[in-house]
Amino acid sequence: MAVKKKSSWRSLMVLCFQDPDNIYSPKKTKKDDGERVITKQKSFLGLSILDISNPSSTTLSEDLSISLAGSDLHVFTQAELRVITQSFSSSNFLGEGGFGPVHKGFIDDKLRPGLKAQPVAVKLLDLDGLQGHREFMTEVMCLGKLKHPNLVKLIGYCCEEAHRLLVYEFMPRGSLESQLFRRCSLPLPWTTRLKIAYEAAKGLQFLHEAEKPVIYRDFKASNILLDSDYTAKLSDFGLAKDGPQGDDTHVSTRVMGTQGYAAPEYIMTGHLTAKSDVYSFGVVLLELLTGRKSVDIARSSRKETLVEWARPMLNDARKLGRIMDPRLEDQYSETGARKAATLAYQCLRYRPKTRPDISTVVSVLQDIKDYKDDIPIGIFTYTVPTKPRREVKETSLQNFDKPRRETKETSLQNFDKTRREVKETSLQNFDKPRNVSTTDNHQKFRAPAHTARNHRITLRNGYNSPMRNEAGGERY
């Protein structure tokens, strides 16, 4: 069996996102003399299939070093990464990513010259045949060449024997997904959510408007990482693809991504464009507005898919309040919420051409973020009182109770005074006829009984009862 000589190495950046769908099997042809020949097909990275599929090959590491010459990426050894992560201790375990476990580590400034001391996140890729190698190479090439404040920083990698590891800057706040949906997390304030949306859109804009445009293909809440200041950075570029070239309007590829975030036209046809990323951004923006997951099987079938449930209400100001996250109450202005909802609605349109491009999204979010009537961050703002808390409380209660006591005492005094006057007058009128001498005639003697009857009517019907006429007599 004769094997053609391996094709020469080409620039990785040119081909790092090209579609690998038709490169899995080497083509087999027959020579005229019947001898079978295996023609190695070039991978998306310009490497032969046999190179990529051989875990023990050192060619991959050598080619990466050549292509990334001049970059600031560090090539780590397995031994160094064991030191950094304390042998991948379970106490340093951060979580399970889409392509493998992630551990926290710390680079000591004595590890190697020129590498500053810093915390890091080390991702160990679960190599699943060609796909694992491909995603590793895509990640290294993308983050090795593209630098932006809203893209997570790749510090280095390890490509040793069958092991593939990536070393990133450590993001202490974790992912947007955990901040939004984890039960023990404090609810993100309105202004923080706008900040995250704006910065994530800026990262996406950088990819779409790069010299060689890149389609992210996996924009979702779990891939947006947050630093200590809640600065948003995009991570996990294993599924990234080159954008359409020349007169092409889209890239045809296998459907990959995450349920609930992928654009409908991409799912149905496999046609990928920058507008596919815009749709995914609209889903994340909707999660920020509602505080709900893109897909939540714990909810009823009508509310299980966030887009299907919320989209009809995004463009209706009267219904918008039904879908807004109740934890944001009194934190946002009506105008700001309406503008953000309208933007999400536009990003989630069915027809890709009717969606805004990412630069428009960034511009609109900038306006919303800078809207002056919006209420500032509430939960993260703390004002130090000028007096001790107990003293302030006692003073407030004293000031509150003082007028109440004064008002109450004045009212009781006036009320008692009136009652005494009325009672004395009534008793005087009642007692006066009884002082008449017994020598008076019978008519005068019966006056007290008649007066007592009037008094009973007065007590029964009230002092100013309508049962009494103007002359003080009885009404029947």
Whether 233 has a pLDDT exceeding 80, the answer reads yes
Average pLDDT over residues 353-380: 79
Query: Model confidence over 252-263: pLDDT tens digits?
Result: 888 888 889 999
Which CATH fold topology does 176-369 show?
Transferase(Phosphotransferase); domain 1 (1.10.510)
pLDDT at residue 428 in the model: 58
pLDDT at residue 385 in the model: 41
- Cα–Cα distance measured from residue 320 to residue 342, given in angstroms and rounded to the nearest whole number: 10
Contacts 24+ apart (CB under 8 A), 98-104: 98/218, 98/222, 98/236, 98/238, 99/123, 99/125, 99/126, 99/132, 99/135, 99/236, 99/238, 100/124, 100/125, 100/126, 104/170
Whether 364 has a pLDDT exceeding 80, the answer reads yes
pLDDT at residue 406 in the model: 57
Whether 383 has a pLDDT exceeding 70, the answer reads no
- Cα–Cα distance measured from residue 398 to residue 395, given in angstroms and rounded to the nearest whole number: 5
pLDDT at residue 384 in the model: 39
pLDDT at residue 438 in the model: 45
pLDDT band at 38 (very low <50, low <70, confident <90, very high): very low
Task: Tell me the percentage of the chain whose pLDDT exceeds 90.
Answer: 42
pLDDT band at 372 (very low <50, low <70, confident <90, very high): low
Query: Model confidence over 264-311: pLDDT tens digits?
Result: 999 999 999 999 999 999 999 999 999 999 999 888 888 899 999 999
Element (H, E) at 279: helix 274-290
Using the CB atoms, write b or e for 95-129: b if 16+ within 10 Å.
Answer: eebbbbebbbbebeeeeeeebeeeebbbbbbebee
pLDDT at residue 408 in the model: 55
Could you give the residue ranges of the DSSP H alpha helices within 147-189?
Answer: 176-181
Catalytic residue among 218, 236, 277, 325: 218
Residues listed for the chain: 476
Whether 387 has a pLDDT exceeding 50, the answer reads no
**Spatial contact of 226 and 173, defined as CB atoms under 8 Å apart:** yes
Q: Whole-model pTM?
A: 0.68
In 3D, which of 167, 178, 193, 203 has the Cα closest to residue 81? 167
Q: Which two tokens stand for residue 452?
A: 């007592």
Query: Model confidence over 131-179: pLDDT tens digits?
Result: 677 788 888 888 888 899 999 999 999 988 888 899 999 999 999 999 9
Phi-psi region of 95 (alpha: psi -120 to 50; beta: other; left: phi over 0): left
In one letter, which amino acid is 114? G
Q: Which two tokens stand for residue 364?
A: 């609109």
- Cα–Cα distance measured from residue 205 to residue 277, given in angstroms and rounded to the nearest whole number: 10
Q: How far apart are the first and last CA of the chain?
A: 132
- Of the segments 41-55, 66-80, 261-275, 361-375, which one has the largest average pLDDT value? 261-275
Superfamily name with CATH number, domain 2-169: Phosphorylase Kinase; domain 1 (3.30.200.20)
Q: Which strands make up the sheet holding 154-160, listed edge to edge? A: 74-75, 154-160, 163-169, 118-124, 100-107, 93-97
Whether 73 has a pLDDT exceeding 90, the answer reads no
**Spatial contact of 268 and 290, defined as CB atoms under 8 Å apart:** no
Per-residue DSSP letters for 393-460?
Answer: HHHHHHHHHHHHHHHHHHHHHHHHHHHHHHHHHHHHHHHGGGGS-TTS-HHHHTHHHHHHHHHHHHHH
Query: Model confidence over 3-26: pLDDT tens digits?
Result: 444 433 333 333 344 444 433 333
In 3D, which of 254, 262, 255, 307 has the Cα closest to residue 280? 262
pLDDT at residue 268 in the model: 94
Whether 422 has a pLDDT exceeding 70, the answer reads no
Residues 6+ apart with CB under 8 A from 129: 53
pLDDT at residue 257 in the model: 83
Active site residue 218: yes
- 473 C-beta neighbours (distance < 10 Å), count: 9
Average pLDDT over residues 303-328: 93
- Cα–Cα distance measured from residue 468 to residue 476, given in angstroms and rounded to the nearest whole number: 9
* Angle, CA of 453, 457 and 459, to the nearest 5°: 115
Task: Tell me the percentage of the chain whose pLDDT exceeds 70.
Answer: 62
Q: Which two tokens stand for residue 136?
A: 């590793």
In 3D, which of 46, 50, 81 has the Cα closest to residue 159? 81
Beta bridge partners of 39: 27
pLDDT band at 27 (very low <50, low <70, confident <90, very high): very low
The 3-state DSSP class for residue 37 equals strand
pLDDT at residue 439 in the model: 47
Lowest mean pLDDT among 106-115, 144-153, 405-414: 405-414
Instruction: Report helix angle 274-290 to 306-314, nearest 10.
Output: 80
pLDDT at residue 305 in the model: 93
pLDDT at residue 410 in the model: 58
Whether 28 has a pLDDT exceeding 60, the answer reads no
- Cα–Cα distance measured from residue 349 to residue 369, given in angstroms and rounded to the nearest whole number: 23
Average pLDDT, the chain: 75
- Of the segments 44-58, 113-127, 175-189, 393-407, which one has the largest average pLDDT value? 175-189
Greater confidence (392 vs 105) lies with 105
- Cα–Cα distance measured from residue 107 to residue 102, given in angstroms and rounded to the nearest whole number: 15
Average pLDDT over residues 440-447: 45
Greater confidence (325 vs 462) lies with 325
Average pLDDT over residues 33-59: 41
In 3D, which of 179, 364, 173, 149 has the Cα closest to residue 288? 179
Report domain extents, the chain. 2-169, 176-369, 389-461
pLDDT at residue 143 in the model: 87
Lowest mean pLDDT among 126-135, 286-295, 443-452: 443-452
Average pLDDT over residues 404-425: 58
pLDDT at residue 82 in the model: 93
pLDDT at residue 367 in the model: 94
pLDDT band at 373 (very low <50, low <70, confident <90, very high): low
pLDDT at residue 4 in the model: 43
Average pLDDT over residues 401-429: 57
Greater confidence (185 vs 156) lies with 156
pLDDT at residue 424 in the model: 59
